[in-house]
Amino acid sequence: MRVTSLPLAALGLAGSVVTHPFGETEAVLGRQSQTQQKADAVKEAFQHAWNGYMKYAFPHDELHPVSNGYGDSRNGWGASAVDALSTAIVMGNADAVNTILDHISKIDYSQTSEQVSLFETTIRYLAGMLSGYDLLTGPASDLASKKDNVDNLLTQSKNLADVLKFAFDTESGVPYNNLNITSKGNDGSTTNGLAVTGTLALEWTRLSDLLGDDSYGKLSQKAESYLLNPQPSSGEPFPGLVGSNIYISNGEFGDGAVSWNGGDDSFYEYLIKMYVYDPKRFETYKDRWVLAAESTIKHLQSHPEPRPELTFLSSYDNGNYDLSSQHLTCFDGGSFLLGGSVLDRQDFIDFGLKLVNGCEATYNQTLTGIGPESWGWDPKQVPDSQKDFYERAGFYIESGYYVLRPEVVESFYYAYRITGSEVYRDWVWNAFVAINATTRTDSGFATVTNVNAKGGGSKVDNQESFLFAEVMKYCYLTHAEDAPWQVQRGDKNTFVFNTEAHPMRVKHT
Ligand SMILES: *[C@@H]1O[C@H](CO)[C@@H](O)[C@H](O)[C@H]1NC(C)=O
Ligand SMILES: *[C@@H]1O[C@H](CO)[C@@H](O)[C@H](O)[C@H]1NC(C)=O
Ligand SMILES: *[C@@H]1O[C@H](CO)[C@@H](O)[C@H](O)[C@H]1NC(C)=O
C-alpha cells in the first residue's frame, strides 16, 4: 500500500490535469499551480524540521527527533545549520539563511573534543559554506542582511581548511581521514578509502579558485592523482574501475574490490563533476569516468531472475560478483545521466534511466513506499521469510532501515531535469509524501527501522544533517522554477552539486 493519493486530495489537488474540463492552456496552468503547491509542501516540511532543530538542538550538530534532544556527531560545530544553508537559500528562506550566517561567523573550527573526519567535514561544512558563498555572492545576493556574514563564509572556509590540511602531509600525499586536530595526529591507519580520498577535489579546488591560492586544490589533486593512475594493475580489474583502499605510504591500491557502493561511490561521482566544474583542467577526470562508466555497463550491470527488466549494479572482487546493492549506490543513475547529458552520450543516458528505474522499484515494492538501506537478488541467498516478496519485487531486503538518505530522489531529480519527463517528477513526489508520512515526528524526521512494515517499524532517535542538505533540496528543486543553480542539460550548467547537494559555481562561467 502506498500513500500517494491521500495527501494530494488533502492539498485539494485531486482533480488531475488529464480530466481538466477546459482547454490546454488551463491544463498547463493547472499543472503549474499543482507543482507550485508541491514545492510549497516541501518548504513546509523543511520549516517543520528547521523549527524543531532550532527549538531543541541548535547550535548542536543534529536533532534527536524522538526525544527532542540533540547530538554532536560532527564535532559540535552546528552541522545541521551549516548543511541547511544552501537549501534555505534556494528556498528563499531569509530567516533561516541569516540565522545560519550569524552562527557560521561564530564557529571556532580549531576546537573539538572528538576525532575529525576529513571527508565528512569537507562535504558538509566546507562545501556548505563555499556553496553559500557562491550563491549569496551570485544569484541569491538579495537574501543576506549583513555583507560581512557573506564574506565570513569564505574566511571560515579558509580557517577550516587550514585546520584540516595537515591531513595531506604524508609520504605520498594521500591523506589520513580520521584526524586529531589538537595534536595534529591521526588514527594510525595505513590505508585510506577510495571515496574519502576521491571526494575532496571539488571543495578544495573551489576554495583555491575563490581565494586565488592554488595550494588547497593541489593537495586534493595530488591525492587524486593516485586514483587516476592506479598502481599496481591489480588495483584496476576493469578499465576505470578501481579498488577500495589506497596505501597512505605510497598511493598504491591495496585491493581490487570494485563497486559503486558506499565507500567507493562518490569517487566516481566526482570524476564527471570535476569536468563539469572545469572542462579545461579536468579532462583526464572525465576520461576516467567514461572508462568506469563503460566498464560498469559491461561488467557490473545485473538483472534479478524474477524481474529481468530491472537493472542493479553488482560489485566485483577477485572473480566473484556480489549481487547486492545499497540506497547509497542509487546516486549512480544521476551520475550516468549527468555524464551522458554533458558528453552527449545517449547510451549513458539510457543506462542511467535503467538504474533510476531499478532504484524506483526498491521504493515501489515496500509497504511504506520507501526503499531499504540495502538489498540483494542472489537466488541462492533469498531468506525463507522473503521468498514471496523476492518473486514479486525482484529483490530481498538485507537492511530495512531508512536513515533519511537522498540518493534515490537525487537520481529522480537528474532524470527529471535531463529528460523533462513528468514520470520522474511524480516519483520524487511519491517518495517525498512517503518520507513525510513515515518518518515525521513532532519536531522533525526520524530514521526508521523497517521500510516494509506498517509505519516503517520503529523510529530511531536521529536526524542526520543531510535531511536538510539533500532530501529537502532535491524534493524542492524538482518542483521549483528554473534557476541558475538547477541542473541543466548539456553544457549549460552554471552550478555543480557536491556529494552533499551543495551547489558550487562552475569555473568556466
Ligand atoms: C506532511 O505531514 C504533515 C503532518 O502529518 C501533513 O500535515 C502534511 O500535509 C504532509 N505533507 C504532504 C505533502 O503529505
Ligand atoms: C587529541 O590529542 C590530544 C593531545 O594529545 C588529546 O588530549 C586528545 O584526547 C586527543 N583527542 C582525541 C579525540 O583523540
Ligand atoms: C509501482 O510501479 C508500477 C510500474 O510503474 C506502477 O504501475 C504501480 O502503480 C506502482 N505501485 C505503487 C504502489 O506505486
Break the chain down into helix, strand, coil percent, rounded to 5.
50, 10, 35
Q: What is the SS3 assignment for 375? A: strand
CA–CA distance, 432 with 41 (Å, rounded to integer)? 10
Distance of CA 212 to the CA centre of its chain: 28
Cell 552550478 maps to which residue? Answer: 495
Which residue type occupies 507? K
Nine-digit cell string for 476 = 524542492
Nearest CA to ligand 2 atom 4: 183
- Rounded distance from Cα 427 to ligand 3 centre (Å): 10
Which atom belonging to ligand 1 lies closest to the Cα atom of 3? 14
What lines the ligand 3 site, CB under 6 Å?
2, 364
pTM of the model: 0.94
Mention every residue, 6+ apart, whose C-beta is less than 8 A from residue 492.
none
Q: Which residues have a catalytic role annotated?
A: 120, 265, 373, 407
The beta strands (E) that lie in 367-448 are given as 374-376, 396-399, 447-448
Q: In tens digits, what is the pLDDT along the chain, a chain of 509 residues?
A: 333 333 333 333 333 444 445 566 777 778 889 999 999 999 999 999 999 999 999 999 999 999 999 999 999 999 999 999 999 999 999 999 999 999 999 999 999 999 999 999 999 999 999 999 999 999 999 999 999 999 999 999 999 999 999 999 999 999 999 999 999 999 999 999 999 999 999 999 999 999 999 999 999 999 999 999 999 999 999 999 999 999 999 999 999 999 999 999 999 999 999 999 999 999 999 999 999 999 999 999 999 999 999 999 999 999 999 999 999 999 999 999 999 999 999 999 999 999 999 999 999 999 999 999 999 999 999 999 999 999 999 999 999 999 999 999 999 999 999 999 999 999 999 999 999 999 999 999 999 999 999 999 999 999 999 999 999 999 999 999 999 999 999 999 999 999 999 999 999 66
Nearest CA to ligand 1 atom 2: 436
* Nearest ligand (C-alpha, residue 184): 2
CA–CA distance, 325 with 374 (Å, rounded to integer)? 6
Q: How far is CA 448 from CA 269, 379, 402, 463, in A?
A: 27, 27, 5, 10
Known binding-site residues for Ca(2+) equal 499
Q: How far is CA 319 from CA 234, 254, 315, 324, in A?
A: 12, 16, 10, 16
Ligand 3 pocket test, pick from 364, 370, 451 with the greatest ligand atom count within 8 Å of Cβ, gives 364
